[in-house]
Amino acid sequence: VGIFGNVQQQTLEVVYDVAGGKLGFGPGKCS
Amino acid sequence: RQATESRRLQHAHTVKISSLLPASVCTSTKGNIKKASLKVVHRHGPCSQLSKDKANAPTLSEILSHDQSRVNSIQSRIAFNSRKNSLEDSQATLPSKSGSSLGSGNYFVTVGLGSPKKDLSLIFDTGSDLTWTQCEPCVRYCYKQQEPTFDPSKSATYSNITCTSPLCSQLSSATGNSPGCSSTTCLYGIQYGDQSFSVGYFGKEKLTLTSTDVVNDFLFGCGQNNQGLFRGTAGLLGLGRDKLSLVSQTSQKYGKYFSYCLPSMSSSTGHLTFGNSGTSSGVKFTPLLTDSQSPSFYFIDITAISVGGRSLSISKSVFSTAGTIIDSGTVITRLPPAAYSAMRTTFRQLMKNYPMTDALSILDTCYDLSNYTTVTIPKINFFFNGNVNVALDLTGILYAASASQVCLAFAGNSDATD
């Protein structure tokens, strides 16, 4: 598999809606 | 020429070299604190209380080497699951180990366990399921950790799970190993691909996420023999999709909904938040896929990549052949060979004015920028199914060991079917 790693996830808002079957990316929320 | 230059700069980051290097001080402790929200800290960054032992801190090269161990392990675990259905039952054909490597486990959160609660810093990992911490009396071995080791005998709310409990048998899918039994107490064992492991009692305990968010009877591993790359942290928080993960155990409370923001190493703290607070504006969603062979991983579909505004020529089948997972515990993104090759070629073209230098472990596109004050770096965008366009932060494009060794922060898999 390819793997989307944590360096590339830095500063993005990553949302796991597991029950809803979707994963979200949002603009940086932790800076 | 001006128009071309303007277009080039529109698709590039222009930054000071100093901003690429790890900061030496924690610049902020703000983070995005919400209900059921935990502070996320980089394990080796300046905001970490766990990073004071500089002498034993891993080098960047060691971090990348550990990262490769984790990736190898994930690949073999998924390949093993895939092969399992296509082979007749034959013990001789099966690998002796499974489970993912912890790698460098870069990010951790601090939770409270027991009554009265004891604070514990746990690596948070969407690539594994069982939560465990080191426990007294450390029957066989406990590595050194920052906080006092959890002692269940001093907690009013701890109890062991018995061997005959149906909960005990759930360990098989969560750990990849059949549970054991000591007297009447259920035993778990989890071994990771880099030889790290934890073995201990399977118990339940009160877990305090925040002062207002408490999970009673949380099932976890009380480790009595723990060895490997966990140094400093008290254990691991499993956020995969198995029944025993924290996400599944709190499904009634948080609806299997969580979010996080990982800080760049130099920029303070992030958050790990459980539940839908409804405040995530500007978030775009891609379908979350499930692989029946490896159901605990979070699969997503990459459809395209652009570098410096140029869409890379990559057939969609390159991504769909093996699929992609998102993992908070893997450091460097791994791409199928054809996709990485296309990215590297374009990135090198756009960086041709800068001198290249030696590779850094798995990173083969590195530059010596020590003679520059500012540099212009191509922007990189990932496109996911559902028309989701993610512009990577600069910290997701470059991985800097020093000003003289700044590398493209991607690596390719060795096999297109990995």
Beta strands in B75-184 (DSSP E): 107-113, 118-125, 132-134, 159-160, 180-182
More confident residue, B97 or B45: B45
Q: What is the pLDDT of residue B13?
A: 94
Beta strands in B251-349 (DSSP E): 257-261, 270-274, 284-287, 299-300, 302-307, 310-311, 324-326, 333-335
Q: Which of residues 98-117 of B touch A (CB under 8 A)?
A: 106-107
- Mean pLDDT, range B194-209, rounded to an integer: 92
- Per-residue pLDDT band for B60 (boundaries 50, 70, 90) equals confident
The answer to whether the bond into B337 is cis (omega within 30° of 0) is no
Binary contact (A1, B74; C-beta < 8 A):
yes
Q: What is the pLDDT of residue B295?
A: 93
Q: What is the pLDDT of residue B137?
A: 98
**What one-character-per-residue DSSP string does B191-254 give?**
E-TTS-EEEEEEEEEEEEEETTEEEEEEEEEEEEEEESTTTBS-EEEE-SSSTTSHHHHTHHHH
The pLDDT of residue B77 is above 90:
no
Phi, psi of B20 (to 5 degrees): -85, -20
- For A3-14, what is each residue's pLDDT tens digit? 999 999 998 999
DSSP letter for B80, please: H
- For B280-316, what is each residue's pLDDT tens digit? 678 999 999 999 989 999 999 999 999 999 999 999 8
User: CB-based contact (8 Å) between B26 and chain A?
Assistant: no
> Is this complex's ipTM strictly greater than 0.90?
yes
Return the residue in B261, B265, B301, B387 with the most chain A beta carbons within 10 A, the one to mutate for interface testing.
B261
More confident residue, B318 or B34: B318
- For B138-161, what is each residue's pLDDT tens digit? 999 999 998 999 999 999 999 999
Q: What is the pLDDT of residue B32?
A: 47
Closest Cα of chain A to B353: distance in Å? 25
Among B129, B213, B242, B327, the one annotated catalytic: B327
Binary contact (A15, B285; C-beta < 8 A):
yes
User: CB-based contact (8 Å) between B126 and chain A?
Assistant: yes
Binary contact (A29, B261; C-beta < 8 A):
yes
Phi, psi of B208 (to 5 degrees): -105, 115
- Mean pLDDT, range B184-200, rounded to an integer: 88
Q: Any idea which of A15-19, A20-24, B274-278 has the lowest mean pLDDT?
A: B274-278
Please say if B125 is a catalytic residue. yes
More confident residue, B396 or B196: B396
Taking Cα atoms as reference points, which of B410, B396, B380, B384 lies closest to residue B283? B384
Q: Any idea which of B125-129, B343-347, B355-359 has the lowest mean pLDDT?
A: B125-129
The pLDDT of residue B89 is above 60:
no
| Pairwise CA distance, residues B251 & B34, whole Å | 18
| Pairwise CA distance, residues B72 & B194, whole Å | 9
* Residue tagged 């070629």 (tokens): B345
> Tokens for B383?
């496109």
The pLDDT of residue B88 is above 50:
no
The pLDDT of residue B136 is above 90:
yes
Tell me if B391 sits within 8 A of B379, measured CB to CB: yes
- Mean pLDDT, range B83-104, rounded to an integer: 35
Tell me if B230 sits within 8 A of B195, measured CB to CB: no
Inter-chain CB pairs, A–B, below 8 Å: 182
- For B385-414, what is each residue's pLDDT tens digit? 999 999 999 989 999 999 999 999 999 998
Binary contact (A2, B32; C-beta < 8 A):
no
Closest Cα of chain B to A28: distance in Å? 7
Q: What is the pLDDT of residue B91?
A: 26
Tell me if B333 sits within 8 A of B322, measured CB to CB: no
Query: How confident is the prediction for chain B on average, in pLDDT?
Result: 87
The pLDDT of residue B336 is above 70:
yes
Handedness of CA B18, B16, B341, B288 (dihedral sign): positive
More confident residue, B34 or B258: B258
Residues of chain A neighbouring B75 (CB-CB closer than 8 A): 1
Q: What is the pLDDT of residue B53?
A: 64
